[in-house]
Chains A and B, each alone.
Chain A
């Protein structure tokens, strides 16, 4: 079992007038950066890095970073900078980028070089992950939406070549052309860092991931549709002639642990009511469906079962698909209300967020592990309007009680992660010998 820690690194500014339930709602791509305070940004970037370092001390296997653009819910616009810093200031933990938004890179060779450098500086601790991004990312960096999927695939193929094929060589693709590919930086890991693919609702992406035998990371989706998506992965794997196992399944979910139930509820309320990614289950904010669903961005029919979650569908601009599949109309009142994804209580009830003391949280994690059988998981905490103390209390209790208990449960359920079982061969991975000796 691989256990990672994730925070989306929101821009928290109670003075901005936009701060979840305490202020105006954040409308996706509807907020001017004139409200941005770089002094505050400096504090937050450093705080989040400190928390990641503490997560390593508390025994997490990985620290996960993500990337979004032009939005206050995630400060990771240049996620590779954060990853590079962590590569230097941490010692053992895997640095998991889930993920770089491939289609918005006009020059993916630059990305190949950056990731190789991070892998070297960390001495082989990078896990690289690639995504297609939401409409927000394509708008922010002006990437042509109808070619998003084509660019994703070509950039992927190109980076793998840039990492593994002796240069110099020439690349003449549909979307990328290079006359001299010969990066003077190669990944530390041989042949290259593991690639994990996170996602929510594109069947294309799941099928593509299964064909490449990469782990698929479901991002905070509801339990039942998550399981169905894993099952779809397994179907594709079967067609490809292999059996999908726990090392192919990964799951990110919200967990906050605290000293008392009261403290847990108070912090978790801040979590769901603060600035947070409105396109994921359980979060708040107003998305603009037509921006999320830019023309040609994804196929209109290839939706994963997660579309049955109204939150995911709406935020992805797929209300019509949701109605078609579920026969349910959007609850207009619920949509208008600030909390369109249900109250904190209902989220807790549905386990969209797991909160409490270790005593109450561990059985819920047990249920997740037993039901979904993932080989790797990420606890998503420290988000929304939670402050540093909230995050640190939770991290400490995770380290002291939750992580050890989770490892025991994983053993009981035989949940092996991608660093125990090779996703390409389904064979156990032997302990890697570091390059250059012991």
Chain B
């Protein structure tokens, strides 16, 4: 995809013996976006909006999309370690790290290990904590289009983005991604009991975002993140579901830029 302002590039690098593919575009301070458990469907409006203010890097998490599967990896923390090495490779300066959903889980894990590499942290509909109320929607017990669809404020909006019938390529991406997710986060599903004990050590300024119509990760998780992290602010995006990046790309990019002081 090209626009008047930007053309994104596709590159690969090797981390711990496995290739990592990433898309890159924009100018300004570095921002890295970690995708949902359903994989990265490509360079989209959110990335484009962010690229107006940042040099944006969007890797396929190891084992997802075009990045090699680390067959040894058993938990999100393993991916966080790889992503930390990846960030060191692509940016000499601390970055603004944006994690979407499952990517938010990875970003939070990464922050507990190496906050020095981060300028700012943004967790959007982030998994990783056991909700005080309600349950995280279990994608293993429903069909993958149904799961992705649950990330939208309503069905119509899902179809607006992915069409009446999602393309074969997109469905393959979801199916394939689900397998890697099952390798990394099965039991407990989508949270780590250790995280609440480590989050208070993360001084990084953090923006915690959740859609008001969130139906995948209970909004209470966003509140728990905001309470556990010493320098966090909470932003609820009215009318958005779990996939704030797909539903309100401009608004989310604006919040992130403001948070990072860009």
Contacts and interface: CB of A to CB of B under 8 A. Distances in A.
Interface of A: 29, 139, 142, 144-147, 289-291, 294-296
A142 B188 CA distance: 10
Contacts of A290: 142-144
The 3 closest A-B pairs by CB, nearest first: A295-B179, A295-B182, A296-B179
B259 interface: no
14 contacts: A29-B141, A139-B140, A144-B183, A144-B186, A145-B182, A146-B182, A289-B143, A290-B142, A290-B143, A290-B144, A291-B141, A295-B179, A295-B181, A296-B179
A84 to B, nearest CB: 29
Contacts of A296: 179, 182-183
B63 to A, nearest CB: 10
Interface string B155-180: 00000000000000000000100110
A144 B142 contact: no
Contacts of A295: 140, 175, 178-179, 181-182
Given A142-B187, A144-B187, A294 B142 contact: no
A146 B179 contact: yes
Contacts of A294: 140, 182
Contacts of B143: 289-290
B205 to A, nearest CB: 36
Nearest to A145: B182
Given A139-B141, A146-B182, 13 more contacts: A142-B186, A144-B183, A145-B140, A145-B186, A146-B179, A146-B183, A291-B141, A294-B182, A295-B175, A295-B181, A295-B182, A296-B179, A296-B183
B105 to A, nearest CB: 17
Interface of B: 140-144, 175, 178-179, 181-183, 186-187
Nearest to B139: A295
Contacts, number: 32
B28 to A, nearest CB: 38
A290 B182 CA distance: 13
Contacts of B183: 144, 146-147, 296
B95 to A, nearest CB: 31
**Which interface residue of A142, A144, A147, A290 has the most chain B CB atoms within 10 A?**
A290
A291 B182 CA distance: 13
Nearest to B182: A295
Contacts of B142: 290
Contacts of A147: 183
A295 B186 CA distance: 11
Contacts of A142: 186-187
Contacts of B140: 139, 145, 294-295
Contacts of A144: 182-183, 186-187
Nearest to A144: B186
B176 to A, nearest CB: 9
Nearest to A174: B72
A135 to B, nearest CB: 9
A295 B178 CA distance: 6
A139 B187 CA distance: 11
A173 to B, nearest CB: 14
A133 to B, nearest CB: 15
A202 B147 CA distance: 27
A239 B187 CA distance: 40
Contacts of A289: 143
A171 B183 CA distance: 23
A139 B182 CA distance: 12
Nearest to A293: B175
Contacts of B186: 142, 144-145
B191 to A, nearest CB: 15
A290 B181 CA distance: 15
B78 to A, nearest CB: 14
Nearest to B168: A320
B160 to A, nearest CB: 24
Contacts of A146: 179, 182-183
A142 B178 CA distance: 16
A295 B144 CA distance: 10
B246 to A, nearest CB: 22
Nearest to A147: B183
A318 B134 CA distance: 33
Nearest to B178: A295
Contacts of B181: 295
**Which interface residue of A29, A144, A291, A294 has the most chain B CB atoms within 10 A?**
A144
**Which interface residue of B182, B183, B187 has the most chain A CB atoms within 10 A?**
B182
Contacts of B179: 146, 295-296
A139 B189 CA distance: 12
Contacts of B141: 29, 139, 291
